[in-house]
Amino acid sequence: MSRSLVIIVALIAMFRLWTLHVASTNEKRLKINGAMEYGYGSTLAVWISTGAIYAGALIEGDTLRHAQFDRVAAIGLAIYIFSAMALIWVMRTLGPFWSGKVLIAPGHKLVVHPIFRAIKHPNYFLNMIPELVGFTIMLHAFITLAVGLPLFLISIFFRIRVEEQALKKKFEAY
C-alpha cells in the first residue's frame, strides 16, 4: 500500500477511535440514567461485519492489490469523507443519545429533525454504508466489497428492525 494511503488509513483510524470514544461515553451516561439496550445480537453482527470489512479491505488493499493513491482511491476517499461528514452531523443531531447500540433511556426524547423523516435511518444510509463502500474502493478492495457489503446489509436489516420495534414501543408518535 502506498505511503499516502497508509497515512489516510491512520487518520481514518484516529477518527473512528474518537467516534468510538464518544459512543462509549454516551452509552455509559445513558445506562447510568436507566437506558435499556435492545438487540444485542444485531449490534454484535453489525460490529463484526464492519470490522471484517475493514480488516478485509486492509489485507486485500495491501497484499493483493498493492493499492496506490490514484483516481479510484480518490473517489473512495471522497465517498468516505462524505460519510464522515454525515456521521458528524448525525452525532450532533442526536447529541447524547447517539451511540453504537440501540439504547433508550427514561426521558429519552424522540428526535424529529426533518432528515429523520426523509431518511429514516441516516446513520446507516448516509454514514455506515457509504463509509464501508468508500473505504473498500479507496483500497481497491473490490472482493471485500462484493463479499462483505451484502453480509453487512443483512446485519443492518436486522438492526433496523430492532431499532424500529424499540422506537415504536417507546414513542407513540413514531
Below-50 pLDDT ranges, the chain: none
Q: Can you give the C-alpha Rg of the chain in angstroms?
A: 17
Give the pLDDT of residue 53: 98
> Beta 102-104 vs 36-38: how paired, if at all?
antiparallel
- Cα(76)–Cα(136) distance, rounded to whole angstroms? 7
Give the pLDDT of residue 165: 94
Beta strands in 12-169 (DSSP E): 36-38, 102-104
53, 102, 126, 159, 162 from 122: Cα distances, Å: 20, 14, 5, 13, 16
Give the pLDDT of residue 144: 98
Amino acid residing at 167: L
Give the pLDDT of residue 4: 97
Give the pLDDT of residue 110: 86
Give the pLDDT of residue 171: 87
CB 94 within 8 A of CB 30: no
Give the pLDDT of residue 10: 98
- Cα(49)–Cα(12) distance, rounded to whole angstroms? 18
Give the pLDDT of residue 111: 85
CB 54 within 8 A of CB 135: yes
- Cα(76)–Cα(134) distance, rounded to whole angstroms? 4
Give the pLDDT of residue 120: 87
Torsion over CA: 67, 73, 76, 77 (sign)? positive
Give the pLDDT of residue 107: 83
